[in-house]
Structure 1
Amino acid sequence: MGHHLQGIPRSPRVHPPYALQTGDEGVSLFGNLLKLKDARSDPDQKWLRGLVRYGEMATARVGSKTIVFLNSKRVVGVVSHGHSRSLLMTQEKWAEPRRIMHTLLSGTAVKQYGEWLETESAQMLAEYLLKPALWYRHHYRYANSVVHRIALGERLAKSTKDLEDLQSLVTVFVTTTGSSVVDWFPALARLPRWLQPWQAHWEKLDRWNYDVYRSWWALVLEQIRRGTAPPSFARDTLLHGDTKYTGSDDDAMYVAMQLIEAGSDTTREALHIMIMAALEHPAVFARELLRWRPIFVITPDHVASQDIEFEGYRFPEVTGFVINAVVVGDECDSPETFGPDRWMDGHETDIAHGLWQFRGGRRICVGYRLAQRSMFINIARLVQCFDFKPNGPYNSRILSLEATDEPFPVKVSVRSQAYAELICAEAERLGVLEDAKISRDEL
């Protein structure tokens, strides 16, 4: 099994095993680990796309783990929803943070944030107008400020350095997920500490992560203790004595900061993809962006907490299930064509319908409704008010979403003087025009 893939064909009635020819995949010890590692950096995702030839599911040995790649919308939907209670990793570690965030980001709660989205979006448009070369920074400032206000109660007043530090945390998290030897050989975690030399590296990252979070959290915590903090998720839910949150102060910090971190970065990345789509397809947007160039090509696996039976197959406990986002996104006519009209399906107001970038079932991203509103308002405004043209050579498959500088060369220009005046008038009305003029390098 170390150098084989076992495919499950599309017919639910016939289940012969399939295997690649000997030597075509991996080696006996590592299995397909090196292939999976290379897939993360391959802009064409050839290996992931190749898994579709085995059918709707393909089972791969990765290290000592068995990973099942879900290659179609059908099996993703059935497995994510039908077996959601069996695909949950150590519930006690995530259930409480997820429960508490759900109260903040449910559909009812998100409706209250519309005014903040409008305000921060107006500032972003003014920043685009005044400093078009820094378009990529404006995306992150906008996204961070919205979630910062929801979580901590105040508009963002952080420097470029502060923002880059937080963004770097996300980059490290995304690029190192699945890179530890323990991820693929879990039994190594039982070795004595002195036989785990990799621990020093991860402990250093953990300390850096903690210090960055603490630099943002300390002032908020002090304001709450002094009674001067504005209304916020942190004050009124995480640290309020009358709530049912059971975590420590540090647990509360991680919940709040991970909310800010994740909410900021995925919105930033989606807006970056929008700009790339505008370069490639200037005539013609939210679900198609995330299908055409998915943010998450490989997500952390959902681990079976018990044996699972599915269409004649039995998957043992601890089998990992991964949504093959590239292949699932290709499951349409002309997948390389950017065609937003493919989503005119009667579910236009539900960004998660038929799209698995937010995962699904009980593990769906708790903030997807906020993301939908945020993408709608900003995509509509940006494509209406600005033109985007290439400012140098680029590869539309290489998005460099982890970059803190310009990820690809773009020339931004306002469409007319009338739009420029409208943007300034709206920003001034909402009191953010002067904020848009501030250089965050000087904060």
Structure 2
Amino acid sequence: MGGIEPSLNIRYGLLLLVCILCVALIELLRPIDSKWLLRTKRWRMPGGPSGSPIMGNLLQMMQARRNPGTFNQWLMSLIPYGEMVTLHMGSKTWVVLNSDRAVTELIGKRGKITNERPYMPVASDLVSNGKRTVIRQEEEWKEGRRVMHQLLSGSNLKIYAGMQELESIDLLRLYLRQPELWFAHNFRYSTSVLYRIVMGYPLNKSKAELDNYQRVTIEFVTSINRSFVDFFPSFSKLPHFLQPWRKYWVSMGSFHRHIFSQWWEPIKAAVSNGSAPASFVRDVLLHPDIRFAGDDEEAMYLATSVMAAGGDNTRMTMNTFIMAMIARPQAQKHAQAELDRVCTDGKSLRLPQMTDSSEMPYVAAMVKEVLRWRPTVPVIPPHQLTEDLEFDGYYIPAGTSFLINSVALSNEFDDPDEFRPERWIDGSEANVTANFWGFGGGRRICVGWKVAQQALVLSFARLLYCFDFTANGPIDDRKLNHQTLQEPFPVKATVRSVNHAFLIEKEAYKFEASFSTFRSNDNDK
């Protein structure tokens, strides 16, 4: 009997040690506002739905993300908890912002301490090589932001408008000749506009090359907040052989870098040998007077990421616009009547120009309404708090992430499911960020929003002036199917008249002539 007692003591001791280690591990993984043993302050957080041990609300979000419609419903389910909702997401704490007031106060007015991005070891490091500007942390982000501000100068915007007008002519030509591929034409247009601005050339990429570029963007967007490791970043510090997930994400990141390199290297070579045309890359990013502090790899990611993110968001917005036109035909007719007043004189037709924008308030307001009606980005990437914050009676710890719930903000309006551009006609319809958070907010607001707005106004105006849009089969205006390379929903685009078709062909002839001249001059160099 005497020999059994020490054996039991050892077992009990080991059991106690395992229990202590488990408690310590759980405590380590808990969000800062929920810790038991290591708590240094008493936090007061907004309310929110209950979650499971360790995971918190993470599994609910991950399950909802499997379907865009389900994810939007989940975001809607958070509204009853109030303007601010606390979610425990693994080791991280989210406070979801459900009202314009909350976003204005926390993102708009307190940007100094809510400007940081949380560390995401998968989406940022493995998929993006630590260099995609939109999710880089503050210290690395500032330099890229500095040079990207060149995109917003007033003189450049006028130059870009000319480029956008040229590219939108090609958009009309493609719609006229291959209307069944309308969705592919939207992506080509949105990419070609930015390719001209960023790289300086007309877009001369094949469909396969464009499909690969679109795949890169779709994969990147879906990688954000998709991996459990981004919510338990401590696991990224394990030895690589204990990280079975790495292979998948590293492979994705390598593919992205390969595609970026294919698009970047010819432009870099042209700048080096002096043959490159005017562009953001030549005149800003690689110009010696600007003194960009990043290396060549960072320059590549900066240039190609601007095109990828800006182009894909524009594509999705254009697709949403087409859905709005076929689902709400009265809005289509209203816009066409406005455009006809501006651009039709008897039987004489001309394409809408950017200089007509002041005479097209309904079309300008339509851009904001499309973005509000069916947000292309349901949740804006997280803003991380860098200092403890007292707000509205709450005491929120540094490290908490604030997220703008675009779906909730879009539902603050009267009859939110109705498509009513006139709700924005108040004198500020030409400023897409006025009273609207679709492009983010604070210092992290999308740097290219003015460029995107111009591209959308032009494409909306010219497509509606020249074409009628109807459904070509059953539609559900909530199922936009943005994450596909195929037709997302059935659409029939019909040219409005023979005169409109002639106008497109006449302008397309000029466009093709200018493209041939550009290519000839480039070859001569």
TM-score for both structures, normalised by structure 2: 0.77
**CA shift at 1:330, angstroms?**
0.2
**CA shift at 1:102, angstroms?**
1.1
List per-residue Cα deviations over 1:383-435 (Å, max 9, x = no partner): 22111111122221111112111111111111111111111122223446998
User: Hey, what does 1:51 align to over in structure 2?
Assistant: 78
User: Hey, what does 2:276 align to over in structure 1?
Assistant: 229
User: Hey, what does 1:332 align to over in structure 2?
Assistant: 413
User: Hey, what does 1:309 align to over in structure 2?
Assistant: 390
**Conserved? CA contact 1:119–1:432, under 8 Å:** no
Identify the structure with the greater helix proportion.
2
List per-residue Cα deviations over 1:23-67 (Å, max 9, x = no partner): xx4311211112212333241522211211111111111111110
List per-residue Cα deviations over 1:173-213 (Å, max 9, x = no partner): 11121112221112222222222221222211111111000
Partner amino acid for 1:171? I
Which of 188, 200, 218 pairs up with 1:153? 200
Report the CA distance shift for 1:230/1:17 in structure 2 as closer, same or farther (over 3 A). Answer: closer
CA–CA distance in structure 2, aligned partners of residues 108 and 75 of structure 1: 35
Which of 62, 79, 82 pairs up with 2:109? 82
CA–CA distance in structure 1, aligned partners of residues 462 and 68 of structure 2: 32
1:334 is paired with a residue whose SS is coil
Q: Which moved more, 1:136-145 or 1:40-49?
A: 40-49
User: Hey, what does 2:89 align to over in structure 1?
Assistant: 62
List per-residue Cα deviations over 1:338-357 (Å, max 9, x = no partner): 11111112211111112211
1:43 is paired with a residue whose SS is helix
Partner amino acid for 1:121? S
Match status 1:358 vs 2:462? no
TM-score for both structures, normalised by structure 1: 0.91
1:350 is paired with a residue whose SS is coil
Partner amino acid for 2:193? V
Partner amino acid for 1:335? P
**CA shift at 1:16, angstroms?**
9.7
**CA shift at 1:113, angstroms?**
1.0
CA–CA distance in structure 1, aligned partners of residues 48 and 149 of structure 2: 43
User: Hey, what does 1:142 align to over in structure 2?
Assistant: 189
Which of 373, 380, 394 pairs up with 1:299? 380
Match status 1:32 vs 2:57? yes
Which of 362, 369, 372 pairs up with 2:453? 372
List per-residue Cα deviations over 1:76-124 (Å, max 9, x = no partner): 1111122101122331121111111111233442122111111001111
User: Hey, what does 1:174 align to over in structure 2?
Assistant: 221
User: Hey, what does 1:245 align to over in structure 2?
Assistant: 292
**Conserved? CA contact 2:45–2:86, under 8 Å:** no
**Conserved? CA contact 1:424–1:433, under 8 Å:** no
Report the CA distance shift for 1:107/1:195 in structure 2 as closer, same or farther (over 3 A). Answer: farther
Report the CA distance shift for 1:377/1:225 in structure 2 as closer, same or farther (over 3 A). Answer: same
Larger radius of gyration: 2
Match status 1:122 vs 2:169? yes
Which of 156, 168, 177 pairs up with 1:109? 156
List per-residue Cα deviations over 1:332-372 (Å, max 9, x = no partner): 11111111111112211111112211001111100000111
User: Hey, what does 2:100 align to over in structure 1?
Assistant: 73
CA–CA distance in structure 2, aligned partners of residues 327 and 224 of structure 1: 45
Q: For residues 384-423 of structure 1, what are the structure 2 equivalents within 5 Å?
A: 384-423=465-504
2:241 is paired with a residue whose SS is helix
List per-residue Cα deviations over 1:136-177 (Å, max 9, x = no partner): 111111111111111111111000011010000111011121
CA RMSD of aligned residues (A): 2.2
**Conserved? CA contact 1:149–1:232, under 8 Å:** yes
**CA shift at 1:240, angstroms?**
2.5
**Conserved? CA contact 2:495–2:501, under 8 Å:** yes
**Conserved? CA contact 1:106–1:366, under 8 Å:** no
Partner amino acid for 2:69? P
CA–CA distance in structure 1, aligned partners of residues 298 and 316 of structure 2: 27
CA–CA distance in structure 1, aligned partners of residues 310 and 90 of structure 2: 32
Unpaired stretches in structure 1, ≥5 consecutive residues: 7-14, 436-443
CA–CA distance in structure 2, aligned partners of residues 254 and 62 of structure 1: 29
Partner amino acid for 1:356? W
**Conserved? CA contact 2:85–2:96, under 8 Å:** yes
Identity of matched residues, %: 41
**Conserved? CA contact 1:107–1:369, under 8 Å:** no
**Conserved? CA contact 1:122–1:423, under 8 Å:** yes
Partner amino acid for 2:246? Q
Report the CA distance shift for 1:206/1:42 in structure 2 as closer, same or farther (over 3 A). Answer: closer
List per-residue Cα deviations over 1:219-253 (Å, max 9, x = no partner): 11222222222222212222223322011111111
CA–CA distance in structure 2, aligned partners of residues 180 and 108 of structure 1: 42
How many residues align? The count is 422
CA–CA distance in structure 2, aligned partners of residues 106 and 404 of structure 1: 34
User: Hey, what does 1:257 align to over in structure 2?
Assistant: 304
**Conserved? CA contact 2:314–2:456, under 8 Å:** yes
Match status 1:220 vs 2:267? yes
